[in-house]
A and B are shown apart, each in its own frame.
Chain A
């Protein structure tokens, strides 16, 4: 502790779990936006990540409410947010934004996209997996050209609705912080926008890691066109994200409101590691420079000619750096916003515990859980392009067509 803090500020109200929450939802929004690039904007190169991105978004979305729930003083009353929401509260909208995104966007899009595959994969098979897949078709087994066209059009429509929804999902999380006028570190109109673009950065970086890793695990060749495109998108998103953050920073510095002194002290003492080193240097500058040099953006092969094997390794490392950086960003927002007193006269400290509900172990488990969920999802509905069922035009009621079975 340094200077004066209000007595009630001794305990930090939101700790590690609340850092994890915006990190997870950011990944959901980012992964979904990548999927929509493939779908709506028809970016052919990133097609191999389309289904994987959708499943990743779903896996992370399922896990996203857990840290919130774990943090509540009375988790058994959490349902009240849905039953008796205070319509003036930003947080009360969480349930509705979440459910809208889960039910109306992700699940629907995945269902329309996978319906034909589920029908084909389950056809003529017995066993738990086949039965489960049959159940997932919800009994809609029509594979006629008309039905498939409807699936495609519905899927595209949902993706179009999904993009603003993904913006809403994470922009809204930014609004939860940005709308707190009591806290000068949070209170910023740019907060939702910065959250959104950092979400896109983190989502693309995550998909790069997952795509690279899963392809290696399956001993398939890594699609370098896909990796290059992901690297290029990552660079664009990073540039926008970093510009916005710099704009926010410059604005604060230039306006120099009464909080500037204490925020400056916080920045130069408490946040040196997490903000200056991890968020800005490791998480932003190093990836920016690396991607600028090697990713094919303005020049077809990048500024430095790097062999494919090395380039994809660079992408992978950069993506991991970005994850560290984005996690630090969440940390700096959530924890940073509580390290200074609202009296603007002092700084407090925060130490993460290992055990306990707010400890590193629980937070780590919650962050790993989406990967476990993703593993299960991948087993039930394989997202690999080579697993996709090929269905030619089929008149209604015709015999089953031979199709590739998922490996």
Chain B
């Protein structure tokens, strides 16, 4: 080319570009690695892709019969940053107003008289104001909430047309093209995990980010949690991070007396939480 001249300092342009590429390579590679959905990850980390889910082309198709999903939530690890709720809204087209959530974070403030005050301003997305307590605070903690993907789901039982259903891999979903919008499922859910989408006029709820899970990714809330308070994985597989979570923690579920058999397992849950 006409302008192939040596650059000042004695390095020609080709060498300069080459050096830049070489320098940037680790950065680019690590970014690519983070972006790659089914990139192998250590099986015992909270962010591990669901075991044996195959996303890349050429690998076996996703077979729901070989999975059974659940989530673990370590209450002691949650810092109430609300990133999970924000990521969920972005990932799942959840209305941005403060009255529709697929997942949200509650703050419990236990007072000296043993009473609890609970709040969840904008689902915890904007953080929490300093707690107001006249008699002093004994302790305070955050509890992420979401659909419990019950094994015995009252919402599925009551849906008059079968638009909401349990998948073989243990996820409770709503067929938007089928839901008649009667809201009976919302009434039947003991956890307040459902809402009627103001645009589609159909019932909506957490799907465990099913669209991500079937591609070998973890749900968005799990992905963004900075403290690893949420663990996603297989309920029955011994090598699953969820199984490890359940092995090393005393586990509770929400409202066990209702016999809904939730598949969201809480560690370090306080008795005040409902």
A4 within 8 A of partner (CB): yes
Chain B residues positioned under 8 Å from A88 (CB to CB): 157
Are A8 and B192 also in contact (CB < 8 A) when A73-B183, A89-B158 are? Answer: yes
Task: Check B139 for interface membership: any CB of A closer than 8 A.
Answer: no
Contact with B along A89-109 (1 / 0, CB 8 A): 111101000000000000000
Name B97's closest neighbour in chain A (CB-CB). A10
Contact: A74 with B181, CB < 8 Å? yes
Asked if B154 is at the interface of the complex by the 8 Å CB criterion, the answer is yes
Please tell me which one of the listed residues A10, A77, A181, A345 contacts residue B99 in the complex, with CB atoms under 8 A apart.
Answer: A10
A212–B195 Cα distance when bound, in Å, is: 46
Tell yes or no: B187 within 8 A of A by CB. yes
Using a Cβ–Cβ cut-off of 8 Å, how many residues does chain B contribute to the interface with A? Answer: 43
Cross-chain contact A8 with B193 (CB below 8 angstroms) = yes
Q: Mark B168-199, 1 if CB is under 8 A from A, else 0.
A: 00000000001111111011111111111000
Q: Determine if A343 and B186 form an interchain contact, defined as CB atoms under 8 angstroms apart.
A: no
Q: Is the CB of B188 within 8 A of A180?
A: yes
Kindly state whether residue B119 has any CB partner on chain A within 8 Å: yes
A7: interface (CB < 8 Å): yes
Query: B118 contacts A91, CB within 8 Å?
Result: no
- Counting CB contacts under 8 A, is B160 at the interface? yes
Distance, CA A244 to CA B192, complexed state (A)? 31
Interface string of B142-160 (1 = CB under 8 A from A): 0001000000001001111
Closest residue to A187 on the B side, CB-wise? B258
The distance from the CB of B121 to the nearest CB of chain A, in whole angstroms, is: 9
B23 contacts the other chain (CB 8 A): no
How does the 8 Å CB contact mask read for A9-42 relative to B, with 1 for contact and 0 for none? 1110110000000000000000000000000000
Contact in complex: B161, A80 (CB < 8 Å): yes
| A13, B187: Cβ atoms closer than 8 Å | yes
Which A residues lie within 8 Å of B120 (CB)?
Answer: 4, 6-7
Cβ of A7 and Cβ of B157 under 8 Å apart? no
Judging by beta carbons under 8 Å apart, are B159 and A6 in contact? no
How far is A315 from B162 in the complex, measured between Cα atoms in Å?
Answer: 47
A8-B100, A13-B186, A180-B187 given; A73·B157 CB < 8 A: no
Q: Contacts A7-B104, A11-B99; is A81 near B183 (CB within 8 Å)?
A: no
Measured between beta carbons, the chain A residues less than 8 angstroms from B157 are 88-89
Q: Could you tell me the distance in whole angstroms from the C-beta of B264 to the nearest C-beta in chain A?
A: 15
A7–B101 touching, CB < 8 Å: yes
The answer to whether B187 and A77 have CB atoms under 8 Å apart is no
A11 — nearest CB in chain B belongs to which residue?
B99
In the bound assembly, the distance between CA atoms of A309 and B179 in angstroms comes to 55
- Which A residues between 33 and 89 are near B, CB-CB below 8 angstroms? 68, 71-75, 77-78, 80-81, 84-86, 88-89
Knowing A4-B120, A7-B100, A73-B180, say if A94 contacts B160 (CB, 8 Å).
yes
Asked if B233 is at the interface of the complex by the 8 Å CB criterion, the answer is: no
Within the complex, what minimum Cβ distance (angstroms) separates A265 from chain B?
14
17 A-B residue pairs with CB within 8 Å: A4-B117, A6-B104, A8-B99, A8-B101, A8-B194, A13-B183, A14-B187, A71-B183, A73-B180, A73-B200, A74-B179, A74-B181, A74-B202, A88-B157, A91-B184, A182-B258, A338-B187
Interface residues of A (CB under 8 A from B): 3-11, 13-14, 68, 71-75, 77-78, 80-81, 84-86, 88-92, 94, 176, 180-183, 337-338, 341-345
Besides A8-B101, A11-B195, A91-B160, 7 new A-B residue pairs in contact (Cβ under 8 A), listed by A number: A4-B118, A8-B186, A78-B180, A85-B161, A89-B157, A183-B187, A343-B274
Q: Which 3 A-B pairs have the closest CB atoms?
A: A73-B181, A6-B192, A73-B201
